[in-house]
Structure 1
Amino acid sequence: MLPAPLTSWFGKRGWALHPHQAEMLAQAAKPALLLVAPTGGGKTLAGFLPTLAELTEAPRPGLHTLYVSPLKALAADIKRNLTTPITEAVLPIRVEDRTGDTTATQKRRQRADPPHILLTTPESLAVMLSYEDAPRIFNGLQRVIVDEIHALAESKRGDQLMLGLARLQGLCPDLRRVGLSATVEDPAAIGRFLAAHPQPCEILTADPGPDPDIAMLDLPEAPPWAGGGGRYAIPQVLAAVKAHKTTLIFHNTRAQAEIFFHHLWLANDDGLPIGIHHGSLAREQRQKVEAAMAAGALRAIVCTGSLDLGIDWGDVDLVIQIGAPKNVKRLVQRIGRANHRCNAPSKARLVPANRFEVVECQAALAAVRDHDLDGDPRGRGPRDVLCQQILIVACAGPFDSETLYAEVTRAGPYADLTRPEFDACLAFCATGGYALRAYDRWQRLQQRPDGRWQLRDPRAARQVRMNIGTIQDSDTLKVRFRHSRGGPPLGEVEEAFAATLTPGDTFLIGGRTVRYEGLREMVVEVSRGDGRKPKLAVFSGTKFATSTQLSARILSMFQQADWPELPAHTAAWLALQRQVSALPEADRLLIESFPHDGRAHTCVYGFAGRNAMQTLGLLLTGRMEAMGLAPMGFVASDYAVLIWGLDPLTDPAPLFQGDNLRAGFETWLAGNAVMKRTFKASAVISGLIDRQTMGQRKSGRQATFSSDILYDTLQKYDPDHLLMQITREEALRGLVDFGRIEEMIARTRGRIDHRVLDRITPLAAPLLLEVGKVPVQGAAQDRLLASAADELLSAAGLA
């Protein structure tokens, strides 16, 4: 099935085609193929084999295959791996990458003389499609390979990519699409996402190979009741590192990775070479760590999701997950980093960061063993991304709206987009919408006499290109040593964190302690820190919520008679909860009320994930305030919200009436900072607000100031503006996760178990130790002040 040079190359290495690689060759003519193959199973080579075979048998100039990955580093890694067979088999094939790190000179040359295989990212592809010569660049393109398609399908980057592929399909009608992934929970859904609607997608599933060697790390002591850092397990983690060649130590947040690395290094008495890698570090520092990993020079790397995806980092033979993974699919992806070889079982150990995470980790391990991946159904394609796509198309030249609508609806996420919805996006791109049409800066498109649309000012194309993309950078500032202004940055910290610093403060970045010296030209200048305990940089990044499927597994575990799979301390904790109160059930809502520390407490076990439970806390305290119960504050976790106040709750049922809850939510949301934060993100993506202008990036405060003014204007004068509609949609399914609250209400159907107790319960106790308690302003605060005043007057003999 392979041409002679490739057959010879396989023979020299003693290799034979895996069945799924041979099947990919046999099915290469299909318009859409999705390959689900285990990590280390050669799926990337399987994706490229038809391209290598076709270019070997019939060499031709120009671009043949476009490879798209979610990571720049992954594109660079694939380039290195492809170079080996091409060089050793002496194939007439040129491979290049084009990402944000590619120089302007290289990009111009690639446009003039495209390579046979171009490796890129969704953002770079969108920029290329915005040029007038895009039809010439992509002329003759035969195949597109989308690697780690599951990761792209979960974000707006995937929606942008599918719109780009629909554009390419119009330029190259015979274009074939290939998707590659190791972790797909619903192959049919990903197939619909990948294929040009309404074409079908052929799904190939490879032999999954041996089950991974996964378990909890052996720990001599119980984890703490609260917290997320896993610091207590550092001696055992170090012992595991010493017993293996290279260990990846995954964390769910950058802040936790920094704290853990700091304490791991302090405990590293043997001086083992250990690195840290996450998205807030400077690119130069990340590349240095990556090079050391590839060379086998590091024994351990403390990391975050920046190393989740399919890069082969050399001799990794152990993965340690600190903290509950929150998502089974993410855990499987991370486990696959160890023993990145076909038919070699991956080895992973989990370290629960607190007592409840023991249960969650056990549920996740069971799900991995059952091959039960999780994932929420894909929603419709977001309209802010569509608005950006319309502007990208306009940059490439005049367009016909009928043709563009037909093109957009061939993209899977937008297959059910209505013509009125499309026209509303087009009108927004043209004028800014009703409330903004009087402002010249938002008059971006105009209709020609022949009915086609074009940019009102061709010079605007440059501005559009500078702001292409859907990744929302946090408002960050670069960090540099004070006397190395021209040197590489250490990384970035959030503007809000930098604003809290005063000269002399210390904080962690890149595993080192630095001392804040001052802010100069939007750069945080630091010096080497002393030995004092550092503050912690508030790094941006996702704070994961426990998935719906994992929560369901935990609730199912609670119904067991006993728990032999759990450590004795955790099993005894759950048994005590069952004895004094009850354990939560999937189809009933457990609510506990009890006094503690002179306050009335109510604990609601919703198991809807951290974002949803945080939102539920805000909604319930608002209702309790209206009922005169004087709530004072609350704290939320993935599984519960604990509210405290002055008066006890006697009847919780009115708090959970579905219709009223949504109405209260809409009212609360309209005036909440969440809406402004969501509006800002959608305004940037849709092109209403520029993050970069003439090569200069606005500060986060400038962008926020602009978006806040726009939001207040539209809220007052045009509340049904397209961008306000988009903002409400995005807020509902994003930051506040209201859909999971509604799912919780539908699941329990008003069945409430209200337990009134005389003391705090075992399951509620850890919540009192959680950080992030939210105070509630209102009557409770006024009553406390009045009480304090009465006591003062009485003590003074005036009452």
Structure 2
Amino acid sequence: MTVERLPSSVKLPAVITDWFRARDWAPRRHQLDMVDAAAAGNHVLLVAATGAGKTLAGFLPTLADLIDHPRDGLQTLYISPLKALGVDVQRNLLGPIEEMGLDIRVETRSGDTPSDRKARQRARPPQILLTTPESLSLLLSYPDSDLFFATLKTVVIDEIHAFAREKRGDLLSLSLARLQTLAPAMRRVGLSATIADPEAYQGWLAPDADASLVRLVIGDPGADPDLSILIPDGRVPWSGHSGRYAAKQVMELIEAHRTTLVFCNTRSLAELIFQDLWKVNDQQLPIGIHHGSLGLEARRKVEAAMGDGRLRALVATASLDLGIDWGDVDLVVQMGAPKGSSRLLQRIGRANHRLDEPSKGMIVPGNRFEYLEARAALDAIDDRELDPDIFRPGTLDVLAQHILAIACAGPFDEAMLLAEINSAAPYAGLTPQTFATVLAYIATGGYALKAYDKYRRLTADGPGRWRITTPAVAVQHRLNAGIIVDNPMMDVRFKNGRMLGKVEEGFASTLTVGDHIFFAGLSLEVDRLKDSDIIVHASSKAARLVTYGGQRMSMSTHLADRVRRFLASPDDWQRFPDDVREWLEVQARRSILPQPDQLLVETFPHEGRHFFVMYSFEGWNAHQSLGMLITRRMESAGLKPLGFVANDYALACYSLEEVIDPVPLLSPDILEHEFVEWVEQSNLLKRAFREVAVIGGLVERQHPGKRKTGRQVSFSTDLIYDVLRKYDPGHMLLTAAWDDARARMTELGRLARLVERAADQMIHVRATRVTPMAVPLMVVIGREALPARSTADDSLLIEAEALAAEAMRVD
């Protein structure tokens, strides 16, 4: 920290100023601004660079207040998106408190906290409690919650960007509204390093407050990051999305740095990259792996090793890309494209986690399109352009869970609760009619289910008042509440019972005794499958990778716009590697490079099949959905489609008959007819319904002493789904599932923009053979045609080179 003179208007207790002085530090301007905002009773949003001391800035007013006015009771609630982040903050906060000799208790509370400690915390709360949105909601469900939170003065929401626009943000916003009722003078504080629209977050943070009482504090800019793109041997591969080809070079970087974080976009890729790095780890350096499906013991062990400086590298997913502070990390490597400038900035901020030192990061692009995306991300960071923030109305399944939590705490008045809910930003537009529909759902389960007592959770308690039907409802709610609904999972355990983590039931169903899998950085042999457990032992044999379902990250819209501009700007190409520049130059000669507002569609024959390739840059999820719809239209048109492949940049469909005119395949009514029919006939809506049914409390995941298997949960939700579709098609949860399916699972907004562009901006090029920009997708088609478990990498490489030679030939 640089030494600054304290403004005369801000007076910190001597013990704090002495602590700073002993380290030759002084509080930064934005930290003092936070103290000033607290003195004025303001809500405040702090936007400051990584390493700027945001966490201390959030707690400094509480420390100063408790030094000047010592007292018991909960004073400050700190909300973090990750359990690991809460533990990390506790460690970094306890250090200064102990060094100052302060009598201030700081504790954490999450799903991993032992039950006896949770009970003690409710009886004797610490002055500072670090928790998650889900644990906060559960605390609010107890009858003594009004007493527990009566002394609360401040709520600090760290990494606010990770909450606000998702379902966890809906739950947190509702909980904040409840806390404001229980502690009317409570201040709300938001912290973030990566916010593109601070004003929108101010509105989310304290929507019901006078605008003059919601301050925005901007921290001083930090050192510009040191970012580069790794291109081994000066060549970027034609295909792939993982950067695996660079394992040897990444290992050399690890050897040359103190501690390296290697980020991957998926859990499967993290396991794969760990294995690749271990194979070339000639110096036997200690490296680890961390992702959300690993067991608590495994994650804590790795986190402790990183904190103690015992690891030279850690391969991780988004489970660690938020505010974990390990001061010895001096390099971050991003394997594959970053998908967003905000995400990349957040991840590289883990290196040299100090404001005055540049964070050092390196991207390893998986293919030539990914090189363009990586370059776009670096340019966006140089221009200080972050990913746009898109807010949407709160969901009804989350609202139902929150209302039941409030009822578990005690009877409530309907009108008063609606007013409180309307004070939460995502639910500001909730109408009395919709509110009544949600209440009726909680009270009866809905029209088709009201004959069953098990769905009766609320009952009238006088005019306009409600209470839970029995105390058992509260017990079941606390066992099952939560927003994160994973796919059905099975535990991976050693024979001695030690749990390594979880894999999805769908993947587990493909396993038999004697199979080998890579998981938790180990090769494991399956001994037996028992109930919800997979019993394994360590092995040295080759193994296959554990795969996970779920939605993939898509390239952000503003990175997509930059990539489109690259294609139309030859003057930019001088910055690109020779092979990338040549790729674009030959594409311009063989076909065209579209302008940013154009949609290029190419058709060409190859090996007896006809290909239709569309370069829209609207993201993998949108392209996957559109591929389903287009192949259905191709079938109806007699084009005999064989399949499709997609990535973030393009969609390729292949068929036995040629697409002469692509315009009818993309007419706007595709979203009015085929889309609805496809969603209703696919498993997409069923999966969405399973999630909202669990969140909304219709289907329970566990009972006292017994947890349902994922298969049992799926069976229950599928039965209810079929009943509601037949007898109650307007049911609230079906509506919520449709909203999820359209908006989240298929990225409908991007899909709609793509179809809209196609109507007026499509350019159709009929090529005689494969074009250069089509090669990355054509290679994927070759890979997908290989037999299951094939390891024919050499043949794929030969095929890729042959395709590339054909595409790049100019004649």
Give me the TM-score of the superposition, normalised by structure 2: 0.93
Residue identity opposite 1:690 in structure 2: E
- In 1, distance between residues paired with 2:81 and 2:499? 24
Q: Which moved more, 1:240-249 or 1:353-362?
A: 353-362
Residue identity opposite 1:444 in structure 2: R
Return the match for 2:496 from 473, 484, 496. Answer: 484
Q: Deviations over 1:772-798 (max 9, x none)?
A: 9999xxxxxxxxxxxxxxxxxxxxxxx
Q: In the superposition, relative to structure 1, how do residues 687 and 774 fare at CA in structure 2: closer, same or farther (>3 Å)?
A: farther
- In 2, distance between residues paired with 1:96 and 1:271? 38
Cα offset, 1:222, TM superposition: 2.1
Q: Deviations over 1:31-90 (max 9, x none)?
A: 421000111100110111111111111112211111110111111111122212222222
Corresponding residue number in structure 2 for 1:665: 675
Return the match for 1:123 from 134, 138, 152. Answer: 134
Cα offset, 1:765, TM superposition: 1.7
- In 2, distance between residues paired with 1:384 and 1:774? 38
1:354 aligns with 2:385: no
Return the match for 1:543 from 547, 552, 556. Answer: 552
- In 2, distance between residues paired with 1:199 and 1:620? 50
Corresponding residue number in structure 2 for 1:627: 637
Q: Is the 1:466–1:695 contact (alpha carbons within 8 Å) kept by the matching residues of 2?
A: no
Corresponding residue number in structure 2 for 1:735: 745
Cα offset, 1:747, TM superposition: 4.2
Secondary structure at the residue paired with 1:435? coil
- In 1, distance between residues paired with 2:487 and 2:782? 20
Cα offset, 1:197, TM superposition: 2.2
Corresponding residue number in structure 1 for 2:86: 75
- In 2, distance between residues paired with 1:49 and 1:698? 44
Secondary structure at the residue paired with 1:197? coil
Corresponding residue number in structure 2 for 1:554: 563
Q: Is the 2:441–2:732 contact (alpha carbons within 8 Å) kept by the matching residues of 1?
A: yes
Q: Deviations over 1:690-729 (max 9, x none)?
A: 1122242211111111111111111111111111111111
Q: Deviations over 1:1-39 (max 9, x none)?
A: 201211221121211110101111111134421000111
Residue identity opposite 1:96 in structure 2: E
- In 2, distance between residues paired with 1:564 and 1:210? 27
Secondary structure at the residue paired with 1:44? helix
Q: Which moved more, 1:534-543 or 1:249-258?
A: 534-543
Where in structure 2 are the equivalents of 1:77-92 lying within 5 Å? 77-92=88-103
1:140 aligns with 2:123: no
Q: In the superposition, relative to structure 1, how do residues 373 and 131 fare at CA in structure 2: closer, same or farther (>3 Å)?
A: same
Q: Is the 2:666–2:758 contact (alpha carbons within 8 Å) kept by the matching residues of 1?
A: no
Q: Deviations over 1:342-367 (max 9, x none)?
A: 21110001101122211111111111
Return the match for 1:471 from 475, 484, 493. Answer: 484
Q: Is the 1:157–1:470 contact (alpha carbons within 8 Å) kept by the matching residues of 2?
A: yes
- In 1, distance between residues paired with 2:387 and 2:319? 21
Corresponding residue number in structure 2 for 1:766: 776
Q: In the superposition, relative to structure 1, how do residues 393 and 223 fare at CA in structure 2: closer, same or farther (>3 Å)?
A: same
Where in structure 2 are the equivalents of 1:33-72 lying within 5 Å? 33-72=44-83
Q: Is the 1:620–1:655 contact (alpha carbons within 8 Å) kept by the matching residues of 2?
A: yes
Corresponding residue number in structure 2 for 1:184: 195
- In 2, distance between residues paired with 1:697 and 1:314? 40
Residue identity opposite 2:756 in structure 1: A
Q: Is the 1:218–1:236 contact (alpha carbons within 8 Å) kept by the matching residues of 2?
A: no
Corresponding residue number in structure 1 for 2:806: none
Secondary structure at the residue paired with 1:734? helix
- In 1, distance between residues paired with 2:49 and 2:759? 40
Q: In the superposition, relative to structure 1, how do residues 177 and 376 fare at CA in structure 2: closer, same or farther (>3 Å)?
A: closer
- In 2, distance between residues paired with 1:768 and 1:255? 23
Corresponding residue number in structure 2 for 1:407: 420
- In 2, distance between residues paired with 1:774 and 1:622? 20
After TM superposition, the runs of 4+ consecutive aligned structure 1 residues lying more than 4 A away are: 771-775
- In 1, distance between residues paired with 2:707 and 2:347? 34
Q: In the superposition, relative to structure 1, how do residues 770 and 645 fare at CA in structure 2: closer, same or farther (>3 Å)?
A: same
1:390 aligns with 2:399: no
Q: Deviations over 1:312-351 (max 9, x none)?
A: 1230000000100111111000010000012111000110
Return the match for 2:436 from 419, 423, 428. Answer: 423
Q: Is the 2:242–2:365 contact (alpha carbons within 8 Å) kept by the matching residues of 1?
A: no
- In 1, distance between residues paired with 2:513 and 2:69? 65
- In 2, distance between residues paired with 1:208 and 1:451? 53
- In 2, distance between residues paired with 1:256 and 1:739? 28
- In 2, distance between residues paired with 1:733 and 1:480? 37
Q: Is the 1:317–1:338 contact (alpha carbons within 8 Å) kept by the matching residues of 2?
A: yes
1:278 aligns with 2:287: no
Q: Deviations over 1:637-669 (max 9, x none)?
A: 111111111211111212222134332211211
- In 1, distance between residues paired with 2:695 and 2:398? 6
Secondary structure at the residue paired with 2:658? coil
Secondary structure at the residue paired with 2:189? strand
Residue identity opposite 1:543 in structure 2: R
1:639 aligns with 2:649: yes
1:15 aligns with 2:25: yes
Corresponding residue number in structure 2 for 1:220: 233
Secondary structure at the residue paired with 2:745? coil
Where in structure 2 are the equivalents of 1:688-707 lying within 5 Å? 688-707=698-717
Residue identity opposite 2:761 in structure 1: R
Residue identity opposite 1:350 in structure 2: I
Cα offset, 1:445, TM superposition: 0.7
Corresponding residue number in structure 1 for 2:382: 369
Return the match for 1:157 from 152, 168, 173. Answer: 168
Q: Which moved more, 1:215-224 or 1:628-637?
A: 215-224
Q: Is the 2:587–2:593 contact (alpha carbons within 8 Å) kept by the matching residues of 1?
A: yes
- In 2, distance between residues paired with 1:410 and 1:713? 35
Corresponding residue number in structure 2 for 1:600: 610
Secondary structure at the residue paired with 1:745? helix
Corresponding residue number in structure 2 for 1:790: none
Cα offset, 1:748, TM superposition: 5.0
Q: CA RMSD in A?
A: 1.5
Return the match for 1:649 from 652, 659, 664. Answer: 659
Secondary structure at the residue paired with 1:586? coil
Q: Which moved more, 1:164-173 or 1:147-156?
A: 147-156
Secondary structure at the residue paired with 2:90? helix
Return the match for 2:354 from 308, 316, 341. Answer: 341
Q: Is the 1:477–1:494 contact (alpha carbons within 8 Å) kept by the matching residues of 2?
A: yes
Secondary structure at the residue paired with 1:353? coil
Q: Which runs of 5+ in 1 are unaligned?
A: 776-799
- In 2, distance between residues paired with 1:199 and 1:641? 48
Secondary structure at the residue paired with 2:570? coil
Cα offset, 1:540, TM superposition: 5.1
Give me the TM-score of the superposition, normalised by structure 1: 0.94
Q: In the superposition, relative to structure 1, how do residues 168 and 390 fare at CA in structure 2: closer, same or farther (>3 Å)?
A: same
Return the match for 2:180 from 166, 169, 177. Answer: 169
1:268 aligns with 2:277: no
Residue identity opposite 1:91 in structure 2: L
Return the match for 2:576 from 566, 581, 585. Answer: 566
- In 2, distance between residues paired with 1:749 and 1:650? 16
Corresponding residue number in structure 2 for 1:204: 217
Q: Which moved more, 1:688-697 or 1:753-762?
A: 688-697
1:253 aligns with 2:285: no
Cα offset, 1:208, TM superposition: 1.8
Corresponding residue number in structure 2 for 1:785: none
1:102 aligns with 2:76: no
Secondary structure at the residue paired with 2:44? strand
Q: Which moved more, 1:62-71 or 1:488-497?
A: 488-497
Q: Is the 2:513–2:529 contact (alpha carbons within 8 Å) kept by the matching residues of 1?
A: no
Q: Deviations over 1:169-194 (max 9, x none)?
A: 01111110000011111111111111
Percent identity over paired residues: 50
Q: May I ask how many residue pairs the two structures share in their alignment?
A: 771
Q: Is the 1:293–1:314 contact (alpha carbons within 8 Å) kept by the matching residues of 2?
A: no
Q: Is the 2:241–2:370 contact (alpha carbons within 8 Å) kept by the matching residues of 1?
A: no
Residue identity opposite 1:385 in structure 2: V
Q: Which runs of 5+ in 2 are unaligned?
A: 1-10, 786-811
Corresponding residue number in structure 1 for 2:392: 379
- In 2, distance between residues paired with 1:590 and 1:653? 12
- In 1, distance between residues paired with 2:457 and 2:308? 51
